Amino acid sequence: MPYKLQEIYCTVLNNKIHVAGGFIDNNGIIDISSNHILFDPNENLWKSMASIPEPRHHLQLINHQGKLYALGGFNAKSENESWMMEEQAWRFDYANDAWEVMNSAPKKNAETVSASLGNFIHIVGGRQPKGISNSRYGDHEDTDSHLMYDAVSNSWDFASPALSKRNSAAGVVIDGLLYIAGGRTMSGNNVSSLEIYNPQEDKWRNGTPMPQAQAGLAAASINGKLYAFGGEYSGNGGGVFKECWTYNPVSDQWAESVPMLTPRHGLGAATIGTKIYAIGGAKKANAVETSSLLESIQFQ
């Protein structure tokens, strides 16, 4: 990438990877970004696009029915209060390279998992304010909340809550089902659980847990399988995972896959064609050694 960035959730639109917001490293100083860039794999180039209306980190980007949306995330009240959770919804007008303001969600949301399923955008889990304070990391708690956004009516509703409360998980859609893996709780413990949502029934079920509990990880799907990789842990001084795991929905089993070239957490993931891309993130726990790396794994 043209700069170092972490705590991002990217998406693919028109066979290009979009990245917006995140924690940006400005010569060793970590700030909140409003930048919006895209990567064109055919040209192997990054391009600057219209910035999002306000800086955000842990902002959800999602392609829904051919439109790009930016949802929730954290803003900054001041230099020392940079975890102000938001509820906004923005839609990108590709023709005019500009962002439109849509109806906000009925509750603030960040560090969630998002998915486009049928007619709705789904926003699951993450964190929510636990009281009237909403500007510091400790002002929030985990949630099992499940929001739905109808882009046609520009309206929000609630769906069945997730089976557990967690943040910093990763999710993918395979054959119309949403799979959410890993993450952590505000107590600091990583989780390995896999939860599967069927939108036709509005029901959740448990799948086989990940072999290892990883939080701040990324996930992508290819060839009908889920790939989950990277993330961080806080124990023993903290560190970053190199492991990549693959999950087969047919057998409900996990297997070890090719480890990451550069272990990172807070990174983005995207699939285009026969490649999965690992984007940005940090090479060490917390906001240490933020990266501009773009690496990929090729499948047949």
pLDDT tens readout for residues 75-95: 999 988 999 999 999 999 999
Query: How far apart are the C-alpha atoms of 119 and 191, rounded to whole Å?
Result: 30
Q: Which domain holds residue 250?
A: 4-298
140-167 mean pLDDT? 98
Q: How many CA atoms lie within 13 A of 266 on its CB side?
A: 25
pLDDT band for 287, please (50, 70, 90 cuts): confident
Tell me the backbone φ, ψ of residue 137, rounded to 5 degrees.
-55, -40
What's the pLDDT at 15? 97
220, 276 contact by CB (below 8 A): yes
CATH number for the domain including 38? Answer: 2.120.10.80
Question: What domain count does the chain have?
Answer: 1
What's the pLDDT at 87? 98
163-180 mean pLDDT? 98
pLDDT band for 7, please (50, 70, 90 cuts): very high
What's the pLDDT at 236? 75
pLDDT band for 294, please (50, 70, 90 cuts): very high
Q: What is the mean pLDDT of the chain?
A: 97
Tell me the backbone φ, ψ of residue 260, rounded to 5 degrees.
-65, 145
pLDDT band for 111, please (50, 70, 90 cuts): very high
What's the pLDDT at 264? 98
For residue 238, give the 3-state DSSP assignment: coil
96-105 mean pLDDT? 97
Single out the residue of 13, 17, 15, 52 nearest to residue 32, CA to CA.
Answer: 52
pLDDT tens readout for residues 211-266: 999 999 999 999 999 999 999 998 777 899 999 999 999 999 999 999 999 999 99
For residue 92, give the 3-state DSSP assignment: strand
What's the pLDDT at 235? 76
Query: In b/e form, how buried is each residue of 146-177, taking b as 16+ CB within 10 angstroms?
Result: bbbbebeeeebeebeebbbbbbbbbbbbbeeb
The helix (run of H) or strand (run of E) holding residue 205 is strand 203-207
pLDDT band for 273, please (50, 70, 90 cuts): very high
Q: Which residues pair with 243 in a beta bridge?
A: none
What's the pLDDT at 191? 97
